[in-house]
Structure 1
């Protein structure tokens, strides 16, 4: 039997982890075709099939599952050894992959990432921004960024960026000759710009005042799936929108939008960067978290 190379085994582990050749190839930074040929060559070297493959699914054979069980801790030990070496050199290096929602990505790009890349020029950041909540381990990410309430309980969560506030906004031109809503129930008499969640469901607007909580499926003829588009539609006078305050703030400052139902829109715990509790934390991620904490502590002092 020809002994497989470390690259062969890393390719196998990526496919076994993701159960998907496309995602595994993206994680490894190679083409799907190259990865497929590498797995075929590995199975040829070992003289045994490691995967059951169909046009729709990839699953491990019994031999593949046995190999993964023995190989996974070995590769984790190797990652830790390389990280220890990087720490000895004093300079983290390599790829750091983060999956974030759009508001989290904005904050990191504005405040953390430029400073981090200046301090650690040997680190490459791959920041993926998307609305849907993904399994960061399965998708090959080192960390995720979401609102605290959405993070799985088995993750370590690091808060940043302070609280978040969703606000109800409209353009003065829309409110002209209309009575502004005084309570959430009054929204039933208005044109609301509704939001489609990544799951496909429409978002119910959530309000709270003095312990009373209300969730409303607001009326409206326009539904969008992006906060920037929601804000722009509100600026254009299409109706009332419900968005994170950070997206609306530039237009509030210029008077293109005004807030409504302020007392029904309290702040709540905001964004966190999170990562798996029981897995090795790479040096690149530890350095990123330290940089993030330092920056937001400095901002809190101002």
Structure 2
């Protein structure tokens, strides 16, 4: 059976006063250390004793001692309070400088194309930040899953997220291997794809994505068919290189294979432009310094590339 655990309001009130008095065995010296009056310390202790239901100190005109209840309370409260203080210091440190674990959810295809150079330079610039990359195609709730930010194509970023562009808009390109075209020919129009083997992409929600095109300024979609389905672009890229069929991919994913002539592009006049890749996070008011540092690093790198 599930139990409900609660901390009463004000349960920690007076604990610091108690520990300081117990350390100095003096209300006056405790008050001086905490920067309050001795009467304020006495009142805090009285309230704490009333809440606990036991006297914690033995007071005389010459000295202050601990009762048995006070000794037992001290033995448990002191290490617990020290842990709270230490936890506060750790949290304060993370809130004041770039440090700690930065968790990012990203598609697998983005890692070699975009993130590897960024991460290398970022880790050198901010040695106190540890970067964890979770490479997944799933569109997850980054806040619920404990991620600081995510990276996705712009069309998959929710409207309530703060988004930072990592790339300019991208073309979706249709590519195939030279061997494929040698046996199947080249499509001249998107309608020709119905006679071709097309590699399909299954979205994280389970649906098969249609292929998108632009014809005379009008967006069109075509439901293609073929022998192979994948849920990430690198797998589709590899299958296209092996001649399994045609693939529609973001331009940067196919760039190296096109340069190496492992793939050839077709249907260039119909290639649609889609939003680029974005870094996104829930709320600019909740940004920790580690994420702010990463965002600034991304922007500075993008600005440097723009001037090259």
Asked if Structure 1 and Structure 2 have the same fold, meaning a TM-score greater than 0.5 normalized by the shorter chain, the answer is yes
- Counterpart position of 1:249: 255
- Counterpart position of 2:23: none
Deviates more, 1:217-226 or 1:165-174: 217-226
- Counterpart position of 1:103: 109
Deviates more, 1:98-107 or 1:279-288: 98-107
Instruction: Please identify runs of 4+ aligned residues in structure 1 that moved more than 6 A.
Output: 77-80
- Extract unaligned runs of 5+ from structure 2: 8-87
Superposed displacement of residue 165, structure 1 = 1.9
Q: 2: CA distance between counterparts of 1:3 and 1:263?
A: 64
Which of these residues, 218, 224, 239, is aligned with residue 212 of structure 1?
218
- Counterpart position of 2:149: 143
TM-score by length of 1: 0.69
1:106-145 aligned at under 5 Å gives the runs 106-145=112-151
Q: 1: CA distance between counterparts of 2:210 and 2:185?
A: 22
Superposed displacement of residue 202, structure 1 = 1.2
* Residue 287 of structure 2 is aligned to residue 276 of structure 1: no
Looking at CA atoms only, which structure, 1 or 2, has the larger radius of gyration? 2
> How many pairs does the alignment contain?
224
Superposed displacement of residue 79, structure 1 = 8.2
Superposed displacement of residue 212, structure 1 = 1.4
Superposed displacement of residue 131, structure 1 = 0.7
1:84-136 deviations in Å (ceiling 9; x for gaps)? 4x33xxxx211111111223333443321111100111110111111111111
Q: 2: CA distance between counterparts of 1:82 and 1:165?
A: 43
- Counterpart position of 1:48: none
TM-score by length of 2: 0.67
* Residue 245 of structure 2 is aligned to residue 239 of structure 1: yes
- Extract unaligned runs of 5+ from structure 1: 5-76
* Residue 211 of structure 2 is aligned to residue 200 of structure 1: no
- Counterpart position of 1:175: 181
> CA 1:184–1:78 in 2, change beyond 3 Å: closer, same or farther?
farther
Which of these residues, 75, 79, 82, is aligned with residue 93 of structure 2?
82
